[in-house]
């Protein structure tokens, strides 16, 4: 069989089917696997994820995938982490006690603020659609997965935790929840993470997936 366009890491966490359907709709040939060999030889890799940080890391460890994913970064294989899959890219998470992440993008994962900037209580998880805005106006999105998107376009979010990258330069796009600015797309070299679900964000998300498979 020809090498697929995208390998989705199937480690038991996440709406893998929806991610697969989204990528296939965009014309990609997709394989789901937890086989280190197939992951290491992939053209592009998606790390999906819905659920708890610690158990997801545990699952990756028990499948011996932590080193494999780090190796992808060495090989400069394009990697897209979605939702929890994005959070796993960072150094550590506060979720139910401190847990180490993959450490591919410096930073940590903390809870979404339960109050707005003006002190009003707000709902957690943050569920719904929010606009995407360039983190660095002057740089824009030219060399990112958002190249074909416009500032202000909305994506779909479901999350209780959020990424705080250490380096401002790793922020690609921000959204606002209760006036708090949240990093919702981060990137470093060939690695991208998005907090929202491109596979559930209608045409806005499909544009991101198309860009990922054509890049």
Partner 1 sequence: MRNIRLIARLDIKGLNLIKGINLEGLRVIGSPNEHALRYYQQGADELIYIDSVASLYGRNHLGGVISAAAKNIFVPMTVGGGICSVDNATEILRSGADKVAVNTAAVSNPRLITDIAECFGSQCMVLHVEAKLVGPDRWEVYTNNGRERTGLDVVSWVKQGVELGAGEILLTSVDREGTRKGFDVALVKAVSAIVNVPVIASGGMGHPDDLVEVVNEGGADAVAMADILHYNRASIGEIRSTAKNAGLGVRYYE
Which one, 55 or 190, has the nearer CB to partner 1? 55
- Measure Cα distances from 11 to 24, 34, 102, 151, 168 in Å: 20, 6, 15, 33, 30
E strand or H helix at 33:
strand 30-33
Q: How many angstroms separate the first and last alpha carbons of the chain?
A: 22
| Lookup: tokens for 67 | 């080193």
Phi, psi of 29 (to 5 degrees): -90, 125
Site membership for partner 1, residue 12 (CB under 8 A):
no
Residues 38-67 that bind partner 1 (CB under 8 A): 50-52
Indicate which single residue of 200, 207, 210, 211 sits in contact with partner 1 (rule: CB under 8 A).
200
Q: How many residues lie near partner 1 (CB under 8 A)?
A: 34
Q: Which residues contact 154 (CB under 8 A, 6 or more apart)?
A: 129, 130, 131, 132, 201, 204
Could you give the string, one character per residue 109-128, with x where binding to partner 1 holds by CB under 8 A and - elsewhere?
A: ------------xxxxx-xx
The torsion defined by the Cα of 40, 74, 206 and 6, in degrees rounded to 10, comes to -10
Q: Least separation, in Å, of the C-beta of 13 and partner 1? A: 11
Could you give the string, one character per residue 152-181, with x where binding to partner 1 holds by CB under 8 A and - elsewhere?
A: xxx-x-x-x-----------------x---
Indicate which single residue of 68, 89, 130, 191 sits in contact with partner 1 (rule: CB under 8 A).
130
Residues that bind partner 1 (CB under 8 A): 15, 17-18, 21-22, 25, 50-52, 121-125, 127-131, 152-154, 156, 158, 160, 178, 197, 199-203, 205-206
């Amino acid at each position: 069989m020809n090498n697929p366009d995208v390998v989705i890491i199937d480690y038991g966490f996440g709406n893998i089917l929806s991610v697969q359907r989204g990528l296939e709709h965009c014309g990609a040939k997709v394989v789901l696997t937890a086989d280190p060999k197939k992951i290491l030889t992939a053209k592009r890799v998606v790390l999906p994820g819905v659920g708890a940080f610690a158990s997801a890391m545990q699952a990756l460890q028990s499948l011996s995938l932590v080193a494999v994913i780090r190796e992808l970064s060495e090989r400069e294989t394009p990697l897209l982490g979605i939702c929890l899959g994005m959070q796993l890219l960072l150094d550590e998470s506060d979720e139910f006690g401190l847990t180490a992440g993959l450490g591919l993008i410096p930073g940590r994962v903390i809870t979404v603020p339960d109050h707005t900037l003006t002190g009003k209580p707000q709902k957690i998880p943050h569920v719904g659609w929010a606009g995407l805005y360039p983190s660095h106006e002057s740089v824009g999105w030219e060399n990112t997965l958002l190249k074909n998107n416009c500032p202000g376009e909305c994506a779909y979010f479901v999350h209780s935790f959020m990424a705080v990258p250490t380096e401002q330069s790793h922020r690609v796009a921000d959204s606002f929840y209760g006036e708090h600015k949240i990093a919702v797309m981060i990137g470093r070299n060939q690695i991208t993470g998005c907090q929202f679900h491109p596979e559930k964000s209608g045409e806005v998300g499909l544009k991101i997936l198309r860009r990922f498979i054509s890049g």
